[in-house]
Amino acid sequence: MKPLHELTISEVHEGYSNRDFTCVDLVQHFLNRIEKYNHKLNIYLALNKKALLEAAEADKEIVEKGITRPLLGIPFAVKDNFLTVGMETTASSSILKSYHPQYESTTTQRILNAGAIILGKTNMDSFAHGSSTETSDFGPTLNPWDTGRLPGGSSGGSAAAISAQLATVALGSETAGSIRQPAAWCGVTGLKPSYGRASRYGIIAMASSTDQPGPIARSVRDCAIVSEIIFGKDPYDATTSPTPVDIYESSLEKKDLKGIKIGLVKEYLLPSMRDDVKQLILDAAEKFRSLGATVEEVSLMNPKYAIGTYTVISRSEISSNLARFDGIRYGHTRDAFCPETKRRILLGTYTLSAGYYDAFYKKAEAVRTKMIDQFGELFKTYDAFIGAVSPGPALPLGATKNQPMFGEMEDILVEQSSIAGLTGVGLPCGFVDGLPIGLQITGAQLEESKVISIADCYQRNTDFQKFPNIEKTI
């Protein structure tokens, strides 16, 4: 049998059914690994003190009823911007240090209802402001592949938790790359849902018009299983779609991709991109062809325009969302905001101010509409498009210093899809310099089943699901 930390959701449930191990065994195994490695990697900020008690309850249920819930006894890591009753939630900001929520986020409540065990809360960029996890007020998370490098962000802690095998599954959230980019840098799989497919209720907001929670896991299959649980209409979030959630597992295990049309976005092969990274994307295109798909070069708006558009929209919404943190009702005073958060508030306030709203915010929204229309035309012909998630592999620690636009530059290839509310999977497609590179497979709104099916077929027919030997790394 595999080591417990290498098991997928299905393998964990098989082990429970066969009485190979108990939920208490599995949770204790992960807690032991966290105790051994977390002091170096800085992945978990807080642990669930009741995890073993909850595991014992899961064991009792398994003995009495069997595996009757889809996530029964599955250990989860949860990004620290999801409100969790009984566990501190800080969004990695000193302004919320010691804050204990009075209610549960919809996403975490749904996984708990499905039987999951939350191990703890993972590090992130402060208020999700960044793409490196270096803006955290509690120190950066280190990349398990190379502790001298960044894990990406803002869901860097969650991606690193899966890469270091300190949880079976993790929850992240994405505003413009914050699931797919850290998944790429850490060599794991992340699913970004369509806007409105999953509830934002109980998630500390960054940019309300693009924020979405999603799973980070060992495989596309595990992401699909979790997505079935956390997606769907929520009466507490009016932006959630009433469209019924598909049974994503039914779209898995396809033998080939015959009849599927995929667009290879030529603008996403950036002039500044390393040749070896470009080659991995071209190799992925050839793999899709070998699986029966039609792959053709397509053209989209130059991704450089997404930087300005996303910057204006996100900063404006950040300025509005963070106005509630005034140090009066809860939290500490506003001088506890980190420098990156202060910059974003200032720029957002400026773009929304009298005399500048039309020049900046309104224009950014007009460009966003053009992007949405362009994607709409693309998906009339193609089922999905592909490209790199990030221009290169994980960057060294300190790369964000004096780089106020670091996140926008590193997320340049995924910002358009987030702005347009599309769905996408980021998954490994190869290695350069011993570091993983991520491939994005992006589809139309609410086309998760199609994207998951394509991604699963690619993943099962490649061999890029590798994990670092952290005994040697640290």
Cα distance between residue 443 and residue 386, in whole Å: 9
pLDDT at 127: 97
Cβ-contact 281, 439 below 8 angstroms: yes
* CA separation, residue 87 to residues 37, 50, 141, 231 (Å): 21, 10, 20, 23
- Beta strand 189-192 with 212-217 is antiparallel
| C-alpha dihedral, 386 to 431 to 154 to 42, nearest 10° | 160
State both tokens at 422.
């599309």
Cα distance between residue 205 and residue 201, in whole Å: 9
Whether the bond into 154 is cis, omega within 30 of 0: yes
pLDDT at 66: 97
Positions annotated as catalytic residues are 79, 154, 178
The helix/strand/coil state of 446 is: coil
pLDDT at 225: 98
pLDDT at 208: 96
Helices (H) and strands (E) counted in the chain, each on its own, are 15, 11
Tell me the sheet residues that pair with 212. 174
Cβ-contact 12, 26 below 8 angstroms: yes
pLDDT at 358: 85
Neighbours of 243 (CB within 10 A): 14
pLDDT at 404: 81
Cβ-contact 117, 75 below 8 angstroms: yes
Cβ-contact 386, 111 below 8 angstroms: no
Residues of the chain with pLDDT under 70: none
User: Topology of 4-473 in CATH?
Assistant: Amidase signature (AS) enzymes (3.90.1300)
pLDDT at 356: 84
pLDDT at 435: 98
pLDDT at 327: 84
pLDDT at 329: 79
